[in-house]
Chains A and B, each alone.
Chain A
Amino acid sequence: MYSNFIKNDIRKSKLITATITAFILIAAMLTALAASLTVNLSGAVDNILLSAKAIHFIQMHTGDVDMEQLRNFAADQESVEDYQVLPFLNIDGAEIVIGDNSLADSVQDNGFSIQSEKFDFLLGLDNKIISPSNGEIYFPIYYMQEGNAKLGDKVTIHGVDFTVAGFLRDSTMNAALVSSKRFLVSEADFERILEFGQLEQLIEFRLCDGVSYADFETAYLDAGLPANGPPAITYAQIRLVNGLTDGIMIGVLALIVILVIIVAFLCIRFTLLAKIEEDYREIGVLKAVGMRVSSIKKLYLAKYSVIAGIACMLGFLLSVPLSEPFKQNIRLYMGESDRQTFLLGLLCGFVGAAAIYGVVLMYVNGVLRRFRKISAAQAVRFGSPREKSKSARGFLLSNNRIFPRNVFLGIKDILTRKKLYVTMLTVLIISSFIMVVPQNIYNTISAKSFITYMGMGICDATLYIKPTQAEDVTQKGTEAANSLATDENVEKYTMITTKMFDMKVDDGSTQKLRVSLGDHTAYPITYTQGTVPQTASEIAISTLYADDLAKTIGDEIVLTVDGADKRLTVSGVYSDITSGGRTAQAIFETSSGDMLSVGIPITFRTGADSEAIIAQYKGQFPFAKVYGVEENISQMFGPMISSVKMASYAAIGVTVLLTVLVTVLFMKMLVAKDRYSIAILKSMGFTSEGIRRQYLTRSVIVLALGVIIGTIMANTLGEYVGVAIVSAFGATAFNFVVNPFFAYMVSPLLIATCVYIATLLGVSDIRPLKISEHIKEA
């Protein structure tokens, strides 16, 4: 009996069944995809970290390292499992010549290294440890992705020739977000190019399980071990950075899944309610003859369990081949995950799809609960639920002098059957939302102002001088500043000095705090809370520091400056992704503290050729690293911006499809439901066009409401969703940059066009509807 019931039902409503199946299938497929990718990503990250024996703690340092001191420290600390010091030979990008090109435009700190002996191995694409022969060079995988180098390319560094023998995976510096990249050469070749670069030391540790990295870092700094490079990086950060790009993709998938499920539920609810209404009398009869509600429910549940079962199974099967292109990036950067992970991924994908199946059935079961409310007597007598239509009493045709009758009837219908239109309204709200939010996110992160949410001010170029590049950083900085002061291309600039200070912690011990000193108002950043330090006794700290130190606005921080305690009040907190995210800003003057770097942000006069000037500065200030901000941003965030851009286009496509499908479906069902009223109207001499105009009126009203609410929500609530996604970039609070042309013109118009066309398609059944066939059913 069940199978006949299901077959007949599906035959009678092919379009609806197909749409619901499609939505469930997509939801199941994306869930399976997200689940299996999560497993694969985390497996791949673990795999590379394991194969490479990734470091647990790394500190960069320029200058000599006292090996004796390091050995004693390592021996004292029970938590140290192993340690080593690796060379990192900074070579300017312009000096790495590949064929006719060079890496001059790269914003990465390019460094040469030799293969490690103990841990932190550089791996080949087969995840095996590489041993380069003389004359061979291995490039970071990043440059393969960027297209800078390919296998067999000739590379020249100051006359020393190399051949690109392969590409390497670097567990520490793989990601585009990490600003240093390691090249691997043989030890003999390393000696030959040693004189052409500045040598930095990577002081690396492997720690025992369960050791607190923060405690270890404090112990390290307290021991006075060398630490004049960027702040130390720990295992947790490395894990995070390796998974970030693909993690965001999974996050976006998850977001889409949630929306698709909501839409699928709306469709199910709508069709199911219509079906119940249609079968009202039959259900009543079944009840009247003594069939149990649970048995009647089973009839309806059976259909959905078949549909959902097929859809989820197909969704899972489709997710397997579909995951391949998504896995490619993971595979390239981290290598093939092992068989066990692959199987676990399949299993999790299956569980994900099965979960969707369960959720759909639970939902259908919930909707069917209203069977209990059906009174057998009423159903048999009247054949349809006695709808009460008390609302909209004031809106009378006899008082109407404004609207043409068909427009009036359209409006009246919406006012009387508000509940019915909520479904379509919700879909349109979601549609506007999905269309606008990814666009807003894209606009926000590609806007110039976005970097101010990440600890950088808006300038055209930045000049950096580090102790690795010059002996007396302050003097060189002043030299550069003086030269800029007379440069007619320069509109403004300022000099920010970053130093390391000792900070007194509440328990009496000391910690290191990295503070940037200078005029922070010249290139303002955006503060999550509070403001820029305005007096010499104020300090602003990055969110990471604020979390570490558990300090917030108004709290006090005590630094040792010029040998005395300096009490500073926290005036503001900001997100920062530079220098490992641990920074502070103050404006007091001092000559004490360990000099870390001098940064000079520069704004050029309007009309100046920034590229040419930057190139000129690169020659003019050989002791400094000069970044053009645009290339800096595009290289750091380029891949992410372009993937968000792709996601936003995909979202537009999904929205168009969703809007058209759901509107057609909705309108078709509405016409089917209203066929009796349509027959009455026709018998009274209403034309099909006139009746169609009623349905268009309904569509247009719901459309206008949906788009308005959706757009408002996208620009308010959407910001929170945006924050959740963008916080992965390191910014914790920001405002949407809205492209008004798209958000308020293109997007609503696109949705309106879809709805209009879909409505016309959906109400095409009005014309052929025969009065004589429908007027007798009451």
Chain B
Amino acid sequence: MENIVTGKNIIKIFGKGVEQAKALDMVNVEITKGEFVAVMGPSGSGKSTLLFALSGMDNISDGSVKFGDTELSKLRENELADVRRTKMGFIFQQPTMLKNLNLLDNIILPAVGDGKKDTVSLGQRAKALMRKTGIDGLEKRDITEVSGGQLQRAGICRALINSPEILFADEPTGALNSKSAEEIMGLLVGINREGTSILLVTHDAKIAAHADRILFTKDGNIVSELLLQKFNGKDMEAKTEKVLAQMAAVGI
């Protein structure tokens, strides 16, 4: 299978001098097209830093990150922005919406060009996504007028508006109750089945159990890997047990 993201010998250092800290220390990652990968680890283990590094949102101190065949560090800021806008989607723990736009406008925002693109068909596409994620009818609401779960669904709609090749999700269920979290994960699995790769960061074994493969990070390194594909798809409890066992094994 072809790699969509390839990270080689990634080093990320924060701070300078005596205060400096290695957040990522010679990390190697490969994500193939259509794969659903979860990154797990305790706070400060470098899992979010890895997500920012692989998505090109943060530059790395050394090593290389390729998106397909493109070396991200060689792109200029604008080219990098274009890649992010057209080929990647992002979901964060807190719903990152602009306060002064309503839900629909927030969703179509990444797709509105600088030219006079047809915003009507864009609106229809956004509404289709909203129907799919179960928040149709909320188009005109302000972001303060919907629940956290609804807002996170809208975040997924926004991430999907440009039909990205990969979705980066940083603790997407962290601010939600368990029922909403399950629903969101169901959506993500569905999206992955339709062909979109996903890189998900979480500290929750139940959430990570939805992935095909789990990477465990500790002190800036990937210390272990767990393949879940071979376990039967539907038995989530068994998968979760497996994840917890692996976590205990690597000591995180």
Contacts and interface: CB of A to CB of B under 8 A. Distances in A.
Interface string B86-127: 101010111111111110110011101111100100110010
B105 A396 contact: yes
A412 B109 contact: no
A610 interface: no
A706 to B, nearest CB: 22
Nearest to A417: B100
Interface string A89-109: 000000000000000000000
Given A386-B144, A397-B101, A398-B104, A684 B110 contact: yes
Interface string B172-201: 000000000000000000000000000000
A684 B114 contact: no
A406 interface: yes
Nearest to A414: B100
B115 A680 contact: no
A775 interface: yes
Given A404-B115, A682-B81, A687-B77, A412 B110 contact: no
A405 B116 CA distance: 9
A684 B85 contact: yes
B142 interface: yes
A413 B101 CA distance: 9
Contacts of A681: 98
A753 B177 CA distance: 53
A730 interface: no
- Which of B86, B88, B101, B122 has most chain A Cβ within 10 Å? B101
Contact of A677 (B82, B84, B98): B98
Contacts of B126: 398
Contacts of B81: 682, 685-688, 690
B119 A398 contact: yes
Interface string B203-246: 00000000000000000000000000000000000000000000
Contact of B119 (A389, A401, A685, A770): A401
Contacts of B158: 684
Contacts of B90: 683-684
Interface string A428-462: 00000000000000000000000000000000000
B84 A685 contact: yes
A778 interface: yes
Contacts of A408: 112
B138 interface: no
Given A683-B84, A687-B78, A688-B77, A778 B96 contact: yes
A483 to B, nearest CB: 78
Contacts of A412: 100-101
Given A398-B105, A770-B58, A772-B49, A685 B110 contact: yes
Interface string A662-699: 00000000000000110111111111111000000000
B81 to A, nearest CB: 4
A685 B85 contact: yes
Contact of A680 (B49, B93, B96): B96
B13 interface: no
Contact of B108 (A398, A415, A417): A398
Contacts of B29: none
Interface string A512-550: 000000000000000000000000000000000000000
Contacts of A682: 57, 81
Given A404-B115, A405-B112, A685-B82, A396 B93 contact: no
Interface string B130-141: 000000000110
Nearest to B52: A772
B100 A396 contact: no
Contacts of A399: 119
A381 interface: no
Contacts, number: 111
B27 interface: no
Contacts of B77: 687-688, 767
Contacts of A685: 81-86, 88, 110
Nearest to A391: B100
Contacts of A776: 92-94
A9 B17 CA distance: 25
Nearest to A676: B96
A386 B144 CA distance: 9
Contacts of B112: 397, 400, 405, 408
A390 B52 contact: no
B145 to A, nearest CB: 10
A416 interface: yes
A404 B117 CA distance: 9
A42 B35 CA distance: 88
A57 B149 CA distance: 90
Interface in A735-778: 767, 770-772, 775-776, 778
A387 B98 CA distance: 12
A386 B142 CA distance: 13
Contacts of B113: 404-405
Contacts of B122: 398
Given A398-B108, A776-B94, A390 B142 contact: yes
- Which of B88, B98, B126 has most chain A Cβ within 10 Å? B98
A387 B104 contact: no
A413 B83 contact: no
A771 B52 contact: yes
Nearest to B93: A776
A416 B57 contact: no
B83 to A, nearest CB: 7
Contacts of B93: 776
Contacts of B95: 778
Contact of A686 (B49, B85, B102): B85
Contacts of A404: 113-116
B54 to A, nearest CB: 12
Interface string A712-751: 0000000000000000000000000000000000000000
B114 A406 contact: yes
Contacts of B102: 393, 396
B100 A397 contact: no
B148 to A, nearest CB: 11
Contacts of A683: 57, 84, 90, 92, 96
Nearest to B159: A684
B116 A387 contact: no
- Which of B58, B119, B126 has most chain A Cβ within 10 Å? B119
B58 A772 contact: yes
Given A417-B100, A684-B109, A684-B110, A778 B52 contact: no
Given A397-B112, A683-B57, A770-B58, A775 B96 contact: yes
16 contacts: A386-B144, A390-B142, A392-B100, A396-B102, A397-B109, A402-B116, A405-B114, A412-B101, A415-B100, A416-B100, A680-B96, A682-B57, A683-B84, A687-B77, A776-B93, A778-B95
Given A399-B119, A685-B88, 13 more contacts: A390-B142, A397-B101, A398-B122, A400-B112, A400-B119, A405-B109, A412-B101, A417-B100, A676-B96, A677-B98, A679-B96, A771-B52, A772-B48
Interface of A: 386-390, 392-393, 396-402, 404-406, 408-409, 412-413, 415-417, 676-677, 679-690, 767, 770-772, 775-776, 778
Interface of B: 48-49, 52, 57-58, 77-78, 81-86, 88, 90, 92-102, 104-105, 108-110, 112-116, 119, 122-123, 126, 139-140, 142, 144, 158
For the complex of A and B, the 5 pairs showing the least CB-CB separation, nearest first, are A685-B85, A778-B94, A416-B100, A685-B84, A397-B105
